[in-house]
A and B are shown apart, each in its own frame.
Chain A
Amino acid sequence: MKAMKMKNGGTALVLRSCVAAVCMLAAGTTMWLPRAATAQGTGGGAVVKSAEDVKGMLTPALPANAKEIAAVMTTAKVGEVITIRGNIVMATDAFGEKVATFTLGDESARTGERPALDKLPASDAGIAAAARATVQIADASGVAMGFGLSGQQGLKAGAEVFVTGKVVAANGASALVVNATSLHVARSAMPMGFFTEKPAASARDVSEARASGGLKAGDEVVLRGRIGGSKEPFVAGRAVFTLMGRGLKACNEISGDKCLKPWDYCCDTKEEILANSVTVQVVDEKGQPLRTDTKGRRGLKELSEVVVVGKVLVADGKAVVINAKSMHVAQ
């Protein structure tokens, strides 16, 4: 009996050793896990304890389908996670003092002149409360953290910011408070009113305009087309993309084609693609493309149909480059 016990004891010993080893391994693994759960701030997975830590909340890519503040004001519900786009209001009270909050405004709802950066008023009266949102970085209990955000990570008056976060206050009319979990600060803000709600009249298809040979440098044009022409028609980090005319079919319009990136027009030759496309860019005052993405704005993606109003910069018979002034996303 004793021998049996000892034999069983040996097996148990091995089993116990195995269990102990697994437990130790598990404990060891846990020690190496990131401690995001212990974060004081609400910065998504980032631990936010100071203004410098806000860097961890920044996303390099522009979030797709961000909504304008005025549009979301009436629909936002407390507890809902939303992504909004806006510009930090042009006022000295845009940022909380020693508190992690800032006010985002919908520039399309502005009335009157936009204040100059070097002459900021105490408050930005040009944007009504119905087109403003208060963004805060809060601690675990939902209270805004005790540091200021002015000047941190590109956050300044006028900066274009995309905020993803949870709605903590909304009255459906004039109050919207969002606890941010991630931020995207555009390095260059898109011009005010660049995106229009309605397409400009008398738009011509890109293929038609190119075939007629009517595009000359300096001409004001209104062109309709779809974003495509290569595997990556958008330039990441710059407001540049290529627009294709209806003269060519996208791969998904060709029966039986199973192309994974139908916007690359891989069934057509490079010459055909070149003859049916224009390059569109949004430039700054120096003529350089803006340092921001266009993909994701207003749901813009590959094969989106857009109407662009702009001026022909280059038309040398091969390449055509348009400096866009405004754009409407048709679908």
Chain B
Amino acid sequence: MSRTATALKRLIVGHPISSGELGHTLLPKGIALPVFASDALSSMAYATQEILLVLALVGLAALSLVVPIAIAVALLLAIVIVSYRQIVRAYPGGGGAYVVAYENLGFTAGLAVGAALLLDYILTVSVSITAGGDAIISAIPALADHKVGITLLLIALVTLANLRGSKESGRIFAVPTYGFVVAIYALIITGLVKCLGGCPQAESAGEHLEPEAMLTAFVLLKAFAAGTTALTGVEAIAEGVPVFRFPQSKNAAATLGILGVLSISMFIGVSWLTDHTNVVYTEEATRTVVSQVAHAVFGGGPMFYVIQVLTALILILAANTAYTGFPVLASILAKDKMMPRQFRSRGDRLVFSNGIVILAVSASLLVVIFDANLNKLIQLYLVGVFLSFTLAQAGTVMRWRRMREPGWQKSAAINAFGGAVTGIVLVVVILTKFKSGAWIIILATPLVMFLMRAVYKHYTYVTDQLANPERKPLDRRPGHQHMVILVEQVDAATARAVGYVRSVRPADLHAVAFDDSVRDDWAKLAPQVELTLIPTGESRKARLKKHLRSLRNDLGRDDFLTLVVPEVLRSKGLWQILRQPGLQRLKASFLREPGIQVLDVPLDRSEAQAASETHRSIEPARNYVLVLVAGVHNATLQAIEYAETLRPTDLRAVSFGLDPEATEKLGNDWLASGIPHPLEIDDSPFRDIGGSLIDYVHRFKPDGVKRVVTVVMPEFIVSKRRHQLLHGQTALIIKSRLLFERGVVAVSVPYPIED
């Protein structure tokens, strides 16, 4: 990248951070509360409003029921908080609902919670940011027409901030969260004081309401279910125990307690004021309930605007917690083989970029589909919340029963009661919200589970295949190398390929050409190598394939048949692929041809021009062979056997950019495998494997004439193309960069995985 381009990227996304700088700082309670509670507290901005919307259907008289319903929801919140204080004690290592469910209730429960949480994180972003947009519009009603645009803009800003990543985010959280709490308390206390002399009335007080429904038990349940949105975000503390200061469990439990007290008092306070200022709220209202209450209590003064700004900020912070949660969960799921492995890795700035982008795109899509309508979006919410509440508590009960720590019966009873209550609420939520939107989630959750299960089955199958049949290195005679040079024209690249192949001294060697015009030049370049003309007929690809297949049939199982492809590269990078699509497709198609390897001998155009007009083949004196490995399995062993047939000056396996734990495992497996070659495990501190490999290659100072570096890449090939997506494109990306390095020869050794 040019200096300006680099500077521009740094300016927007920031400096790359080395994997090392991941180190976490432990949070004191005072900082942990805003970090983890912003999600839970932010729902105070819309929970009362949701209850009111349901009650409005019954008519003005029913609106007073908002207080008793809020008290019922607060009671539920208290039960869940007490129960989660036990979960925090049971899981000092962080009891994310997924981990708890998977560990104690098995694969399917883990899958269900994983899927529910992924969808929930997406909804958290859509709901919170939409509500944040509503708060802004309440302050400046003129913006009402641009609601979708404002919401999407906010999502884009939060996404960008998260792609940058931040180490000091804790302090950034503190100001708006505490500010919001203080502002809401100021609102409640001022309101109460003013009510002593007759409550101020909201702008919508006395509006006419046409009753559309009777007051039935169903409507009451529906209003209750709508209010339970106040519970969202409570689980965040249980997931974050490891970042609390010591004693971690105790501090986390205390923080949960504080959160409970704050949420309950704020929720009941706001609901009481809503009732006494006689707010009437319908779908058509422009201003949110909280803003109407604030307007009634403070008038249109500065405090009104302060509340709007703080509400918008805390809602954006709440969305932000999903931006931390979603990518981490996706990476845990990827580690457990339930999501594509691309989600495991961090990007330039040490954040899980893939997860962040997927989250932002899905949330934006929801906002567009639902037209940034908070009430419609909220209907999809809560199913996932209560499903994970219930399974996490049930899982913890199982854990108490298994561990039988002193006093476990009491804890287990608390969790069992909490789980039963949230289970009932889950049913209530599904029943009352099914028609208005919950059905989408009820359909989507099993669908996501099904996809995750398919990914899991595929990865497990591949792992089995790679270990089966068990191969031991060098327990048989090494195979012979048979090579075929593809001659499209006789140029500097062809000459270099002939020199390379000579140094390998294969058991058998010949050249193939599609037309006879190259015969004379070939005879000058390599008179002793027989040139076979491939008969005309179908496409070139099909003819070449047929030729190689018939050769392959005569070879032993352990022999190698290599197609050598000389190539003069005319343009940089991807343009090359666009320029010579035929050749690239041909090479790619041989990946799927069992028992055939493709060896690329590329030459840069400038290098080709510098080579003299009369092409002479020069055998390189040094051939350093590197085998790229990520684990010890059959595909690796096959690639090493292949590398051994190349008569290397030096043969070594190299590995880049693995997780730290994975490097220890790879080392142990290598020591145990008895492979007689050195393995070098190198860091790729900025997670750019291609760049690290190229730096490594440069150590051998390849010039292409006397010194060549051969990079052998084992690739496993799955028969279904869509499955190939699950295996990343690392090999392809590395290959496209290696081709442009002077003196580098690249070989793919495919290992087919049969279905």
- A and B interact physically: no
Residue positions of B touching A, CB distance < 8 A? none
